[in-house]
């Protein structure tokens, strides 16, 4: 027999956790019912385009900061980072630092000018002083590609999570969960628009922070608020000793993995400020000052959350046997819920069962809030950039535009469901890092050049967006993420010519270089008048919507 | 539906943005933003990259014990959190003191000239 602390995870995998399962499903159903109620309420107040895309621009800096945190802290950061720390110690913690530092790029360079000069999408700012149709097509394309990669990872993650937490192992069960997640997400966005989505993200952020605080407090209590004691216990229990508390267990294996880590770090730190679902959140507040306040709150909330993942990860390493973690999930994705059970009193105790159910329900809530934000970003860009400004040449009524956005939500939601169903057996963990790399390579250079470089032209924008997009996607296609390794998406195939898992080291400098080169080689002169308008408006807020 | 300001061309001329852009007042605002934000951005990205490179290539140094089981790697990692919080606070203080009043002055002057713009905001 196994010691009691190990048994539950295995029981879960075998599908024999009846009572706990009922509790998890009940809590989750309460969350879905409550958030759908909020969505219907928000939908009643959603009339025009400004309501649908930007929640009426009526949210306060604090509310938006909370919603940004809810949009940003995905299941990957909650379960993934806690699991990575539980298994690899210090190296798991490295991820979260890049995710946090990245917010300074958004704060210092992007949030305020974007809020001042755009209306609804990233494309509004990129196309401001360029030829509208080609640049909006490019901006829409990269928005949709980044969001779909991100979405796919979350949808496939939902399928995997349900196996782990509810013990549903049948393929039909997993498909059902992916379809249900997709339907709830489509309902949130079509009915509630940005207002509904923002409230869902705020509720989720509060639940996630509260759940994490509780576990952190219980872990701290157990180790008498002594960090050194917790680290020591984790190092001994992991069986790896001092190495567990130093960098190297995950990324330090080979010369290639070290370079890969640098590439990943670059993508993380430069990607955030180019993620469309994050950028559109800045339009939900009335002024640039409120946008600044919301980033400050987001930095505070996300920073404290990542600090708590130290307690979660090392707590799991100290209190669970490493084999118990890997037996439930090879990547350690259930370490946090497993820890919740042990810290609540262990398997079979009421406290353990309740805490496990709470943390599992929070993980589901996390997925729903993130997929809603992603769907909204891509359907907004499809409707506003591509349908209205490219296909209809700006000649659509507001009613037609909002209608198009709602239909785009249904379409993108359907695509996400289908992709999620097909991807459920694949290892898609690399896709989130890929979304960051594409955002950093295709979106950030164009955004920064547009806002700050006088000589930037339409050709520069197109080269930068398409060059950054194509290079990052192609490099990943030929990397070990897709083929050649046991952990690849297609382990059977073998076309991994590019050694790194993250393309950022090549594709980000390339995106910047192409934007510069394309502008220098343009035949057309940059539009000085339009740049003057953009610069004055972006720095002063004159005529902001 | 474009991002351009929707000023009614029949009744009001748009502000002469080229003139505003080349004014001394706007130049000061731009300089106050760029001279603060650009070097600081370069600084925190370099500091982050130094941390990443140390993690990859200076294992021995990172393993040096500081207090109990807490080593240099933890101190530097937590240091990244602290500098991120501090830079956010520092920038916000700078913006409130040096950027907001200048931006507000230019904005209110431009919008006082053009009532239509304000109505549109």
What would the mean pLDDT of A392-410 be, rounded to a whole number? 93
* pLDDT confidence of residue A186: 95
- Within chain A, how many helices (H) and strands (E) appear? 24, 0
Lowest mean pLDDT among A90-104, A110-124, A220-234, B9-23: B9-23
Pairwise CA distance, residues B98 & B103, whole Å: 9
Which of B41, B52, B110 shows the shortest C-beta gap to A105? Answer: B41
Any domain includes B1: no
pLDDT tens column, B5-32: 444 444 456 789 999 999 999 999 999 9
Say how many C-beta atoms besides its own lie within 10 A of residue B72's C-beta: 18
DSSP string, A152-203: HHHHHHHHHHHHHHH---SHHHHHHHHHHHHHHHHHHHHHHHHHHHHHHHHH
Contact A89, B74 (CB under 8 A): no
Give chain B's domain count: 1
* Burial of A37 per CB tally in 10 Å (0-12, 13-18, 19+): exposed
- Could A262 and B52 be called an inter-chain contact, meaning their C-beta atoms sit closer than 8 Å? yes
pLDDT range class, residue A10, cuts 50, 70, 90: very low
Asked if A394 is an interface residue toward chain B (Cβ–Cβ < 8 A), one would say: yes
* pLDDT confidence of residue A18: 61
Any domain includes B80: yes
All residues of chain B having their beta carbon less than 8 Å from the beta carbon of residue A246 are 59, 62-63, 71, 73
Any domain includes B55: yes
Contact A485, A492 (CB under 8 A): no
- Could A235 and B100 be called an inter-chain contact, meaning their C-beta atoms sit closer than 8 Å? no
Name the strand (E) or helix (H) holding B65: strand B65-67
Give the HSE-up count for residue A265: Cα atoms under 13 Å, Cβ half-sphere. Answer: 24
* pLDDT confidence of residue A67: 97
- Could A541 and B51 be called an inter-chain contact, meaning their C-beta atoms sit closer than 8 Å? no
> Which residues 55-84 of B are in CB contact (within 8 Å) with A?
55-57, 59, 62-63, 67-71, 73-74, 77-78, 80-81, 84
| Min distance B23 CA to chain A CA atoms (Å) | 11
Range(s) of the domain holding residue B46: 26-111
Name the strand (E) or helix (H) holding B31: helix B24-57
Asked if B4 is an interface residue toward chain A (Cβ–Cβ < 8 A), one would say: yes
> Which residues 336-355 of A are in CB contact (within 8 Å) with B?
none
> Which residues 395-414 of A are in CB contact (within 8 Å) with B?
395-396, 401
Q: Which domains does chain A have, with CATH numbers?
A: 4-540 (1.20.1730.10)
**In chain B, whose CA is at the least distance from the CA of A542?**
B107
Any domain includes B6: no
Which of B68, B71, B110 shows the shortest C-beta gap to A542? Answer: B110
All residues of chain B having their beta carbon less than 8 Å from the beta carbon of residue A100 are 80-81, 84
Which of A245, A299, A544 shows the shortest C-beta gap to B71? Answer: A245
All residues of chain B having their beta carbon less than 8 Å from the beta carbon of residue A300 are 85
pLDDT range class, residue A262, cuts 50, 70, 90: very high
Q: Would you call B66 helix, strand, or coil by DSSP?
A: strand
What would the mean pLDDT of A404-433 be, rounded to a whole number? 85
Pairwise CA distance, residues A384 & A351, whole Å: 49
Q: Which residue has the higher pLDDT, A285 or A6?
A: A285
């Amino acid at each position: 027999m196994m010691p009691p602390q190990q048994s539950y995870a295995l029981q879960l995998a075998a599908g024999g956790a009846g009572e706990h399962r009922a509790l998890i499903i009940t809590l989750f159903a309460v969350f879905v019912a409550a958030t759908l109620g909020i969505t219907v309420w928000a939908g009643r107040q959603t009339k025009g385009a400004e309501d649908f895309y930007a929640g009426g621009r009526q949210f306060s800096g604090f509310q938006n900061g909370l919603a940004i945190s809810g949009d940003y802290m995905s299941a990957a950061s909650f379960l993934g980072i806690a699991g990575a720390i539980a298994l690899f110690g210090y190296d798991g913690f490295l991820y979260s630092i890049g995710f946090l530092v990245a917010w300074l790029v958004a704060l210092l360079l992007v949030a305020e000018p974007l809020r001042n000069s755009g209306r609804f999408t990233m494309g509004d700012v990129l196309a401001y002083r360029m030829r509208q149709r080609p640049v909006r097509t490019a901006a829409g394309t990269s928005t949709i590609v980044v969001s779909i990669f991100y979405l796919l990872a979350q949808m496939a993650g939902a399928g995997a999570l349900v196996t782990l937490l509810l013990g549903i192992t049948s393929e039909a069960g997993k498909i059902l969960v992916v379809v249900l997640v997709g339907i709830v997400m489509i309902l949130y966005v079509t009915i509630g628009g940005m207002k509904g989505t923002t409230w869902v993200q705020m509720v989720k952020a509060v639940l996630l922070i509260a759940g994490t605080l509780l576990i952190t407090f219980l872990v701290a209590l157990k180790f008498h608020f002594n960090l050194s004691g917790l680290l020591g216990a984790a190092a001994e229990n992991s069986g790896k000793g001092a190495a567990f508390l130093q960098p190297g267990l995950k990324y330090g294996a080979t010369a290639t993995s070290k370079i890969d880590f640098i590439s990943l770090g670059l993508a993380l730190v430069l990607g955030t400020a180019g993620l469309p679902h994050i950028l559109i959140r800045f339009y939900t507040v009335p002024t640039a000052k409120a946008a600044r306040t919301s980033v400050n709150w987001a930095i505070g909330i996300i920073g404290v959350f990542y600090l708590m993942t130290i307690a979660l990860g090392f707590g799991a390493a100290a209190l669970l046997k490493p084999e118990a973690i890997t037996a439930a999930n090879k990547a350690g994705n259930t370490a946090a819920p497993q820890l919740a059970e042990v810290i609540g009193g262990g398997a079979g105790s009421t406290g353990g069962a309740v805490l496990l159910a709470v943390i599992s329900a929070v993980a589901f809530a996390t997925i729903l809030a993130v997929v809603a934000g992603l769907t909204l970003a891509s359907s907004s860009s499809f409707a506003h950039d591509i349908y209205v400004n490219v296909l209809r040449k700006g000649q659509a009524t507001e009613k037609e535009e909002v209608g198009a956005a709602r239909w785009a939500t249904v379409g993108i939601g359907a695509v996400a469901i289908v992709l999620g169903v097909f991807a459920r057996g694949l290892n898609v963990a690399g896709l989130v890092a890929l979304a960051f790399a594409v955002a950093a390579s295709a979106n950030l250079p164009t955004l920064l050049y547009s806002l700050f470089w006088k000589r930037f032209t339409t050709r520069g924008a197109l080269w930068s967006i398409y060059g950054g997009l194509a290079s990052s996607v192609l490099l990943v296609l030929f990397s070990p993420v897709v083929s050649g390794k046991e952990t690849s998406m297609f382990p059977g195939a073998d076309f991994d010519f590019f050694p790194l898992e993250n393309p950022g080291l090549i594709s980000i400098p390339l995106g910047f270089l192409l934007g510069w080169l394309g502008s220098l080689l343009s035949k057309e002169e940059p539009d000085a008048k339009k740049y003057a308008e953009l610069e004055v408006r972006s720095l002063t807020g004159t005529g902001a919507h | 539906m474009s991002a351009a300001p929707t000023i009614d061309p029949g009744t009001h001329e748009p502000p002469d943005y080229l003139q505003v852009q080349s004014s001394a007042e706007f130049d000061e605002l731009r300089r106050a933003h760029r001279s603060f934000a650009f070097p600081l951005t370069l600084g925190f990205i370099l500091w982050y990259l130094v941390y990443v490179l140390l993690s990859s290539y200076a294992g021995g140094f990172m393993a040096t014990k500081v207090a109990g089981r807490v080593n240099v790697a933890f101190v530097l990692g937590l240091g990244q959190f602290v500098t991120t919080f501090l830079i956010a606070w520092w920038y916000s203080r700078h913006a409130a003191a040096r950027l907001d009043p200048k931006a507000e002055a230019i904005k209110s002057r431009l919008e006082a000239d053009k009532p239509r713009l304000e109505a549109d905001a």
